[in-house]
Chains A and B, each alone.
Chain A
């Protein structure tokens, strides 16, 4: 070795002096170029995110030009609608609405029994009939106001241009409507919340249970290793566990629409009596066919189950085996070890998986369309056996309409969806950090 080294002229192997400095400069240059490339990748990501945010906000806020069939001032003589009493409102309706329409409304619910707010809505929709003649995004309202006003004056002289935040308390708090101006997403928010709740209740226990079995129990050889048959059975079991494991990884990648078809076949059709609540005597005409929150949640639980299992398994694997050994060494049973040592240590990691699962479930659309979420529904879900809609379906439905104003409320709904996602994730993260702090300090 030594003799070999001394035989070689040093300069021919490693550069020295000026050559060394030149090479160092070159190396630094190359490093700098790569650093800039990674930086620009990050910047590209940031720009894309900003564009996304901008396009959503640009659509969700902006101006709307409304032209009424009858001017409010003409109708009431300058008084605000809110200032009118019930009798005055009723009189207005009698005078201005065709009797056929009035009779239809009366059949729906007697006019005499409706409250003032209800009557005001009818006055607005049947007499004043505000019609959207133009929808302008935020950028137009901020930077091209002059241009759009003159353009509007030319086409619709009576129209009134005003700023509108499509995302508003009214938007959050009201049910669906076919009129963009009145439409809200309360039904969809409640539907999403119900579905998420049930999905988590189904998927988490199942997924964590399966992961525990696969991680903590499959290494146990239940049959006697000394006999030939026992060895063979143990071998068979461990093979089965491997097979299941591989399939779970594959299931995590199956397109969600396939889960939708599975859910349609099993939960909506085959288990209809369960999912429609007939089994418990809770079905009503409105919940027929098993197209209920329960069926959707079961489908969604199936869809996120592989995610929950895999991330829980990873969390369990990260628990040092020395902790398990310590517990066994004190005479703990396997379950005591799992319950008192392994699970508490793995919980933060399991919660991370839960975040992934919830994020996935919140945004899924396709499988829910297949299992029959309603695209237009006026009643709030009241339990697992209700018909329902969810936020992404509402958004999908609105974006597929041709009118501009529906694009705007779709953008507002997207903001709501993102906020919902943010809230669930943030609460899970806070819970997780809280647990970490507690474990490291106590």
Chain B
């Protein structure tokens, strides 16, 4: 391990195929702890694909194949002895469309604890649920209706419920795939504020369509682009301020300034 020990996740020569179609290739990323890293790029360039490979959600896609390495604190997530279930417990995920379970708000948050073999008392479970909901800035809005269906909440609240659900199992990394694309601007703002708070304890990787959003919340930005054979590639990666103000690559500059994409 010659990389910086400060790295939470590092990909080495990552290549992901769907069947015979190569979706992304040659991705080398290193993500530092307690930062927000944004993956940007035109649609179809493989941002979601890369994100899903970071907690082995790609295992669920038939025909998806990951080559290269994804190191989590230096250990390869795709080593044969590593169980995907264990990976996902430590690297949580929030999806594009809010997808709460058709259960009560309480049960939504407690779900991750229950399936991972929670052995504590009812009171400690209550405390954990409350902590997760507070962490997702949702507690004040739902504390009186914990037994109501999670589906009865508004879109933005549902997405924060999904974040609370992910926080409850205390992951180290949270992956977010366009978490605001289904939300209105005010709900988006709330999620962005929440992300800045979460950064104090968690490492966040976010895919976003919205470059202003990347500029507002991300510490680091990775720009992806398809090359001529439609395989996505990491074009440029660095601190957000540098990517936005002094991009090194001409294609990055073209994309940032809105000339294509």
Contacts and interface: CB of A to CB of B under 8 A. Distances in A.
Contacts of B65: 225-226
B232 interface: no
B134 interface: no
| Best-buried of A329, A331, A336 by chain B (most CB within 10 Å) | A329
Where chain B touches its partner, the secondary structure class is: mixed
Contact of B101 (A219, A221, A226, A326): A326
A34 interface: no
B99 interface: yes
Given A329-B88, A330-B166, A340 B99 contact: no
Given A340-B111, A440-B102, A442-B104, A330 B62 contact: no
A330 B57 contact: no
B84 to A, nearest CB: 8
B112 interface: yes
B169 A326 contact: no
Interface stretch (A121-129, A275-283, A317-325, A371-379): A317-325
A329 B102 contact: no
Contact of B102 (A226, A333, A345): A345
Contacts of A439: 102-103, 149
B88 A331 contact: yes
Contacts of A329: 55, 57, 88, 92-93, 95, 166
B140 to A, nearest CB: 22
Interface string B82-102: 000110110011010101111
A336 B117 CA distance: 11
A223 to B, nearest CB: 13
A41 interface: no
B115 interface: yes
A328 B102 contact: no
B108 to A, nearest CB: 9
B99 A323 contact: yes
B70 to A, nearest CB: 16
Contacts of B57: 325, 328-329
A58 interface: no
Contact of A442 (B149, B165, B166): B149
Contacts of B148: 441-442
Contacts of B165: 326, 330
A325 B62 contact: no
B89 A330 contact: yes
Contacts of A328: 57, 60, 88
Contacts of B85: 331-333
Contacts of B169: 330-331
A325 B102 contact: no
Contacts of B97: 322
A327 interface: yes
Contacts, number: 80
Interface string B146-165: 01110100000000001001
A219 B92 contact: no
Nearest to A224: B80
B47 to A, nearest CB: 17
A340 B95 CA distance: 19
Contact of B115 (A219, A320, A336, A441): A336
A328 B165 CA distance: 12
Interface in A195-232: 219-221, 225-226
A292 to B, nearest CB: 43
B116 interface: yes
Interface in A322-355: 322-333, 336, 340-341, 344-345
Nearest to B105: A442
Nearest to B116: A331
Interface residues of B, number: 32
Contacts of B162: 326
Contact of B111 (A220, A320, A327, A333): A327
Nearest to B55: A329
Nearest to A321: B60
A324 B111 CA distance: 13
B125 to A, nearest CB: 15
Contacts of A327: 101, 111, 115
Nearest to A436: B102
A442 B147 contact: yes
Contacts of A225: 65
A329 B96 CA distance: 13
Nearest to A330: B112
Interface string B34-62: 00000000000000000000010100101
B83 to A, nearest CB: 9
Nearest to B80: A224
A63 to B, nearest CB: 57
Given A322-B97, A326-B165, A331 B112 contact: yes
B73 to A, nearest CB: 17
Given A226-B65, A331-B169, A440-B151, A325 B95 contact: yes
A345 B101 CA distance: 9
Interface in A360-386: none
B115 A440 contact: no
A393 B255 CA distance: 76
Nearest to A333: B85
A340 B62 CA distance: 23
Contacts of A442: 103-104, 147-149
A138 B259 CA distance: 85
Contacts of B88: 328-331
Interface string B57-76: 10010100100000000000
Given A322-B95, A326-B165, A442-B147, A331 B101 contact: no
Contacts of A331: 85-86, 88-89, 112, 115-116, 169
B101 to A, nearest CB: 6
26 contacts: A219-B62, A226-B65, A320-B99, A322-B99, A323-B99, A326-B99, A326-B165, A329-B92, A330-B88, A330-B92, A330-B111, A330-B115, A330-B169, A331-B89, A331-B115, A333-B115, A340-B111, A341-B101, A439-B103, A439-B149, A440-B102, A440-B149, A440-B151, A441-B149, A442-B148, A442-B149
Given A323-B101, A329-B93, A340-B114, 5 more contacts: A325-B60, A326-B165, A330-B88, A331-B89, A442-B147
Query: Which 10 pairs of residues, A with B, have the shortest CB-CB distance?
Result: A331-B89, A329-B93, A330-B112, A322-B99, A331-B88, A332-B115, A326-B99, A336-B115, A219-B62, A442-B104
